[in-house]
Each structure stands twice: as structure tokens, then as C-alpha cells.
Amino acid sequence: MKRFVVGSGALAFAFLLIGALLEPLMEPPSGGVDLRTAVAANMTASGVEHPVTAVLLNFRGYDTLLEIAVLLLALIVILASGIDTASDRPRAVNPILQTLARLAAPLMVVVAVYLLWAGAFRPGGAFQAGAVLAAAAVLLHLTGLLPSWQVPTLTLRWGLTAGFLIFLAVAAGLLTQGALLQYPPAQAGMLILLIEAGLTLSLGLILAGLFLFLSRDPGDDS
């Protein structure tokens, strides 16, 4: 009975979602809302110079906060499902590839720092920087220089949650002023940089963890 109720609910939700997606195609709206003018009019108070960063971290910061929570929840679900703690199977890796990985990884860290810094005034930011850091970790793992992650240590747990906790702390502090993530114009740039720095580290670890916690062959438990 429970399976029938859950299945029926999921099916009804799927039909509602499909209907919502198809509605604009069947009945095109008479006119759209152009937010570019509104964003441009408030750029001076956003604390940054790039409109995408202003929207993601200021005007619609709570959306980004929830996105980070979803990514962190996905990793928590993977950890809760159980991770095999057997040692990694030794793999033969080309030493040339390892040398190239050792040279590339520091450059990728530099690129990540640049993307974090550049996000205030050009395309970039925490998501791009975190993705580059995660790619560096995956590269080191695929070349045998970084083992797969088994159980997250206390330090790793703090790193995984630091960005979300900093974001949440800033949101809670601003909530005392009567608005969610409405930065004071004088401190907006500093607060956004603080949030993005924490998010860069956490996103890099979360995205890398989604690979490194699952990068085990089925035969590794033998």
C-alpha cells in the first residue's frame, strides 16, 4: 500500500512537472520580464562589477545557498550509504603521466585562485574555481598520486562544510537587520569575497568527493 501511495504521488508530481514545462510552449506568454535594467540599476550597491556574480551572490543569494546545500546533501547521502574501507588496489601508472600531473596540478590551483578573484568583475567565481580544484584532485587520483577517500576526517568535514557554514552565518547575521542576504553596500564586496572564498574550498572538496568516495573498483574488497 505504501509503495502504491508513494508511486502514485511521484507519478502525479511528474505529470505536474511535465505540464509546467510544456505550458509556455502551448501558451506563449504575451510579454517577458527583462531583468537586465533592474540589475544594472542596482550594480553600484551589489559590491561587485559583474552582473552574474551580483545576481548569484547578492540579489538572489538564497538560491545559491540552497544549491550549495543540495550538493552537500548529495555527498552526505553517498557517505551515509556506506563506503568500502578496503585499501586501494595497486595500479600501474605511466610515470610520464604522473610527472605531467605534478606540473599541471599547481597551475590548476593558480587558475582556481584567479577565477575566484576575477569573479567580481568578469566571468568566474566560486563555482568555476571549485570545479577546477576538483579537477586537479581527480587528475592526481587518476595518475595514482592521490588515493581514493575512505572515511572523511574531521579536517575534511570542516572543509566540506566551511563554505555552507560561512554562507549561512552571513545570512543569519544579515537577517537581524530584517532582510535575508541584503548586504550593506559598504560591506557587500568584502562579504561576497568571504563567501566565495569559503565556497571555492568547499565546492572543490565536494565535487572531488563525489568522485573520490566512489572511485573504487568492485573487486577492491577482496
pLDDT in tens, 63-118: 888 888 888 888 888 888 765 544 455 566 788 889 999 999 999 999 999 999 88
- Provide mean pLDDT across the span 146-150: 85
- Provide mean pLDDT across the span 16-33: 65
- If 0-12 CB within 10 Å is exposed, 13-18 middle and 19+ buried, where does residue 207 land? buried
The grid cell for 217 is 573498483
Asked if the model's pLDDT at residue 24 lies above 90, the reply is: no
pLDDT confidence bin for 218, thresholds 50/70/90: very low
Cβ pair 45, 36 in contact under 8 A: no
> How many CB atoms are closer than 10 A to CB 199?
27
Average pLDDT, the chain: 81
Cβ pair 217, 89 in contact under 8 A: yes
- Residues ≥6 apart with Cβ < 8 Å to 62: 171, 180, 181
pLDDT confidence bin for 138, thresholds 50/70/90: very high
The grid cell for 138 is 581527480
Say how many CA atoms lie within 13 Å of 212 toward its Cβ: 26
Cβ pair 69, 211 in contact under 8 A: no
Asked if the model's pLDDT at residue 19 lies above 90, the reply is: no
Please give the full DSSP string across 58-98, using - where no structure is assigned. Answer: IITHHHHHHHHHHHHHHHHHHHHT----SPPPP----HHHH
> How many CB atoms are closer than 10 A to CB 56?
21
Residue 132 confidence (pLDDT): 95
- Residues ≥6 apart with Cβ < 8 Å to 74: 210
Asked if the model's pLDDT at residue 1 lies above 80, the reply is: no
Q: Which of 5-19, 31-45, 93-107, 164-178 has the highest mean pLDDT?
A: 93-107
Closest CA to 76 of 164, 172, 196: 164
Residue type at position 63: D
Closest CA to 102 of 94, 113, 90, 114: 94
H/E stretch holding 158: helix 154-175
Strand spans (E) along the chain: none
- Provide mean pLDDT across the span 176-190: 79
CA 54 to chain centre: 17
Percent of the chain with pLDDT over 70: 83
